[in-house]
Amino acid sequence: MTLDVDQFRSPIGTLVVAARDERLCALEFAARWPRRQRVLARRFGSVVIRRTPDPAGAVTALRAYFSGDRDALARVAVDPGGTEFQRKVWAALVRIPPGRTLSYRELAATIGVPAAVRAVGAANGANPVALVIPCHRVIAADGTLGGYAGGLHRKRWLLAHEGAPAGSAA
């Protein structure tokens, strides 16, 4: 399996984007890229990395997003893989508009399994295409930021960039 890969230097750190068949299958902070590569190898088997400018148009979309087009990432085609449950959670995440947040509890209720708060949190954390599937828009029930694999400073920055009140549900 060949993955087209590029890097993008964003205001919150260097991001690595990977696509196959013009669909984004990974978007990861550079420091976490080796771990993501292992996950991709488990998913696809043997993986060959091919340096390609702007795979799936993701770099162009990231540039537009960080320049103020809050909807730019919604135009990127994705192939996140995952289980049926994870895909259900990720589909719900994509429906959270920029500038808004939901709690893990609200997200679980949105997908029809209100008791599955922890499972929703785990699916959120397993998201392979951060930003495009906006897991940063999910916060704790008490209005605090909760967790974020990229670090809470990045989550806070992203929410502020999108106009969401950081640390409280909108």
Residues 33 and 63 placed together within one structural domain of the fold: yes
Greatest alpha-carbon pair distance for the chain in Å reads: 44
**Domain stop point among 29, 46, 75:** 75
pLDDT in tens, 53-82: 999 999 999 999 999 999 999 999 999 999
Whole-prediction pTM value?
A: 0.93
Query: 25 an active-site residue?
Result: no
- For residue 122, being part of any structural domain is answered with yes
pLDDT in tens, 117-170: 999 999 999 999 999 999 999 999 898 998 898 999 999 999 999 999 765 443
Per the structure, the count of domains in the chain is: 2
**Domain stop point among 46, 75, 104:** 75
The residue among 59, 65, 63, 79 whose CA lies nearest residue 127 is 79
- For residue 96, being part of any structural domain is answered with yes
Residues 55 and 123 placed together within one structural domain of the fold: no
Q: Which of 135, 158, 164, 166 is catalytic?
A: 135
